[in-house]
Amino acid sequence: MRTRIDPPPTCGPRLTDTVGEVVMLDEESVRMSTRTGEVVLRRDLVVAARAIPPKPVRRGAPHRAIGIEDLHLVMTKGQPGSTQSWLGRAGDGWLLRAGGGWTGRANSALPVGEPGLPLPQAVDAVEAWYTERDLTPLVMLPRPRGAATADDPLGALLLERGWTQDHPADVLTGRTDMLLTGATAPPAGLSLHSSDHVDETWLAGGPPRLRDHLDVAREILALPPRQIFLTAQDSEGGTAGVVRVALNDGWAGIFGLHVAPTHRRRGIGRWLTHAAASAARDAGASLTYLQVEPSNDAAQQLYRSAGMQQHHDYVYLALRT
């Protein structure tokens, strides 16, 4: 938080920075928790504010040092549920998300802390919450690299209770500028269109599952506060490919990269990825995350060749009847 010094000094800097967590905000003041204690800033003196990534929990590059739970709290802001509730303390419990059945990310419980209940009762509460909404109970279980589902106490309990696991997804992270290495010229006959909100042209270029859930997709894709929707269009106005960038807490999330089957093998995916990273950099996001299935060889090669690294993976567990 950057503020003016009042009264202004006769010489030297006239602005000062405060780094910490905002714990209270009203029309007159901002209360922040800093490493040296709480401070209260006058709002009329604030000239700028910038979100920075969560505090690292281990040594290393910033995109590697962030903890798994903190990264998931960033990621879920990029594709939240239309309905959300906390089991346990907000921000440090289990986040229950529902979004009309479109995507596992928006329709699963995310355990990032303590649920405030013994594990069996917490699972009972998850089952009841999703059953009340006519949704299949679903848990997104983050796993450290190399860990199995049964190594986690919650994962072991779910498997014991008859929940089944689907294929995992890798979470890759890196510096945004990693994705900008190498010039990427627009494929012949295509133009790039950018918007801060989802429109019908972008939706028309999404994967089949999105088009099968258009109403709920429109609702969910309107929820993140800072986004960039990029659409590759051909000379006739058709949609050749799309990608979305969500901006939160100093991070950029790349979502929904899809190239129409008739336009594949033309380098459009790489071009759109480069465009997404460029937009993220211009918006001030120095770190990027994305999620990709291990079996998606083309996407894995694209992202890893640009320097993105696996941070961890996660697996969905579902209670199907």
- The distance in angstroms from the start CA to the end CA of the chain is 51
Domain positions in the chain are: 2-48, 62-167, 175-313
Degrees to nearest 5, angle at CA 221 with 218 and 222: 85
Give dist(CA 160, CA 157) in Å, integer: 5
How does pLDDT run across 234-265, given as a tens digit for each residue?
A: 988 899 999 999 999 999 999 999 999 999 99
How does pLDDT run across 49-107, given as a tens digit for each residue?
A: 888 766 666 666 788 889 999 999 999 999 999 999 999 988 889 999 999 999 999 99
Residue 59: per-residue pLDDT: 62
The torsion defined by the Cα of 257, 258, 259 and 261, in degrees rounded to 10, comes to 160
Residue 23: per-residue pLDDT: 84
How does pLDDT run across 33-42, given as a tens digit for each residue?
A: 887 778 899 9
How does pLDDT run across 8-31, given as a tens digit for each residue?
A: 888 778 888 898 888 888 889 999
Task: Give the global pTM.
Answer: 0.82
Quickly name the fold that domain 175-313 has.
Aminopeptidase (3.40.630)
